[in-house]
Structure 1
Amino acid sequence: MPPVEPEPHDPATYAKSAAIYDAEYGFKDYAHEASLLHRLIQRHKRSPGTTLLDVACGTGGHLAFLQADYQAEGLDLDRAMLEVARSRLPQIRFHHGDMTRFDLGRPFDVVTCLFSAIGYVRSEAAMSQAVANMARHLSPGGVLLVEPWFTPETFHPGSLHALFVDQPDLKIARMNLSHVEDSLSVLDFHYMVGTPDGIRTFTERHELGLLTPEQVRRAFEAAGLDTYHDRDGLTGRGLWIGVRADTARAA
């Protein structure tokens, strides 16, 4: 089967906000999420190693804690996010690449794709290609963990959201009114950011595919993974877990 051409995605989605991303999500408990993730990995992983690749790693929030237990690396499509990640975690190796087609030439015991980043592939076909590509990077007995985006049933168009950051030298107001276009959830973030250097405003558009649990399960099973679904996951959005057959079972 020929490879699926991924849906177009702006690789500079976070170009304007990467520098303030960690301040925006300062409320996110990466340490707790990494601890939950570690327990799930140990429950499902059958391979003996500890290599880990975080796909769509962003600024490295999870990697900052996962590196305590794993030989961790990160990969992201957005160069601005990678620049921040490399600055804050210089000891970790980061790669630039698209989750649907990256090729690092070696397998990992664990591959993760968290904080609903899988939604950025937008379509079922591209999501299936991304899952297959991440599964291809698993060692025998390795485990893939993917945190999904909202489904068509759980996403609520027309909902109004606001986020505020109030630090001595950084003020952020971010608002968006969610809507749906062509089966995509669309988040047009409107920013006002103040620093001692001045105040600026800008917008960023984020488009994420609304995929059903059945579509995600099909992608995992088509990739040859033993598939499990954790309803709660790390943040209440659930977590898809796929284990590659180990050598003994494959034989």
Structure 2
Amino acid sequence: MYENNSAAEMYDLLYQDRKDYPAEAREVAELIRQRKPDADSLLDVACGTGIHLEAFAGHFGRVEGVDLSEHMLQVAAQRLPGTVLHRGDMRQFRLDNSFDAIVCMFSSIGYLRTADDLNAALATFARHLNPGGVLVIEPWYFPETFLDKHVSGHALTQGGRTITRVSHSTRVGDVARMELHYVLADSEGVQHRSEIDELTLFTPDQYEAAFSQAGLKVDYAEPTGPRPGYFVGTAV
């Protein structure tokens, strides 16, 4: 879906209408400051179009983002002019800076395919943490919490455009396969996009093992609503 800026902007509009990004940023900032009260710098991994990053900028003196998609980063740059953004793979990026906090939101970690990928990503995150720094990951569903054959939909009308999104999710082994269809109607006509997303159903033990292997003390913050909660690690 993110093969061009138009697709990234469609994603941007739909999810701003579905999620309370500022509330999530406040929640995560509180988790960070409970463990590191003086935290003042943050890196958002898989920052996408920068909606969470914009919210985090209200809580931290310095924020940066990293994402694999150039098109998503272009939208993020428009939203956050002057903010340092990096293109990189979460398993192996190398930045010149380190941070008091690193976050990976919106279940983006689920796009990793294997436990080895998960371990590599956590090791990369840990290398970029300052002493006593905090890592917060919002996981994808666990094998026992995934809803097989789940159907969802959303529609938004704004600025003379209507966008709809429908999805159907099935489980294939330890992978959640999501078939998604997007329809955009505006004055120029109707456009249709479709995609297949595959996210790995890592177990809690796999997440915790990856944190421990990266040298981080980890605990799990239980969810307060339908979202999956957070794994929170502290550099020791």
Smaller-chain TM-score range? over 0.9
Question: Given the superposition, is the C-alpha separation of residues 213 and 42 from structure 1 closer, same or farther in structure 2, using an over 3 Å criterion?
Answer: same
2:19 maps to 1:58:
no
Question: For 1:170-215, what per-residue CA distance to the aligned partner results, in whole angstroms no more than 9, with x for missing partners?
Answer: 1112112111234211111111111222211111221110011111
Equivalent AA in structure 1 for residue 181 of structure 2: H
Does the 8 Å contact 1:190/1:203 carry over to 2? yes
Which of 240, 246, 251 is matched with 2:231 structurally? Answer: 240
2:15 maps to 1:21:
no
Structure 1 gap ranges (5+): 1-12, 246-251
2:206 maps to 1:212:
no
What is the distance in 2 between the residues matched to 1:191 and 1:104?
A: 35
The alpha-carbon deviation at position 27 of structure 1 amounts to 2.5
Question: Given the superposition, is the C-alpha separation of residues 235 and 128 from structure 1 closer, same or farther in structure 2, using an over 3 Å criterion?
Answer: farther
Which of 55, 62, 68 is matched with 1:77 structurally? Answer: 68
Which of 164, 169, 174 is matched with 1:173 structurally? Answer: 164
The alpha-carbon deviation at position 106 of structure 1 amounts to 2.6
Aligned to 2:126: 135
Equivalent AA in structure 1 for residue 196 of structure 2: R
Provide runs of 4+ in structure 1 moved above 4 Å. Answer: none
Aligned to 1:6: none
What is the distance in 1 between the residues matched to 2:135 and 2:225?
A: 14
| Aligned sequence identity (%) | 38
Which of 183, 187, 211 is matched with 2:178 structurally? Answer: 187
Q: Secondary structure at the match of 1:62?
A: helix
Does the 8 Å contact 1:233/1:239 carry over to 2? no
What is the distance in 2 between the residues matched to 1:38 and 1:234?
A: 18
Does the 8 Å contact 2:33/2:39 carry over to 1? no
Aligned to 1:160: 151
Which of 36, 39, 57 is matched with 1:67 structurally? Answer: 57
The alpha-carbon deviation at position 77 of structure 1 amounts to 0.5
Q: Secondary structure at the match of 1:178?
A: strand
Q: Secondary structure at the match of 2:12?
A: helix
The alpha-carbon deviation at position 136 of structure 1 amounts to 1.1
Equivalent AA in structure 1 for residue 234 of structure 2: V
- The normalised TM-score by structure 1 is 0.88
Does the 8 Å contact 2:99/2:129 carry over to 1? yes
Does the 8 Å contact 1:37/1:234 carry over to 2? no
Does the 8 Å contact 2:136/2:231 carry over to 1? yes
What is the distance in 2 between the residues matched to 1:143 and 1:27?
A: 27
Q: Secondary structure at the match of 1:84?
A: helix
Does the 8 Å contact 1:119/1:209 carry over to 2? yes
The alpha-carbon deviation at position 236 of structure 1 amounts to 2.9
Aligned to 1:118: 109
Which of 140, 161, 167 is matched with 1:149 structurally? Answer: 140
What is the distance in 2 between the residues matched to 1:236 and 1:56?
A: 18
The alpha-carbon deviation at position 168 of structure 1 amounts to 4.0
What is the distance in 2 between the residues matched to 1:159 and 1:37?
A: 28
Which of 28, 32, 46 is matched with 1:41 structurally? Answer: 32
The alpha-carbon deviation at position 159 of structure 1 amounts to 1.5
Question: Given the superposition, is the C-alpha separation of residues 105 and 91 from structure 1 closer, same or farther in structure 2, using an over 3 Å criterion?
Answer: closer
What is the distance in 1 between the residues matched to 2:233 and 2:130?
A: 12
Equivalent AA in structure 2 for residue 148 of structure 1: P
2:227 maps to 1:229:
no
Question: Given the superposition, is the C-alpha separation of residues 49 and 160 from structure 1 closer, same or farther in structure 2, using an over 3 Å criterion?
Answer: closer
Does the 8 Å contact 1:147/1:233 carry over to 2? no
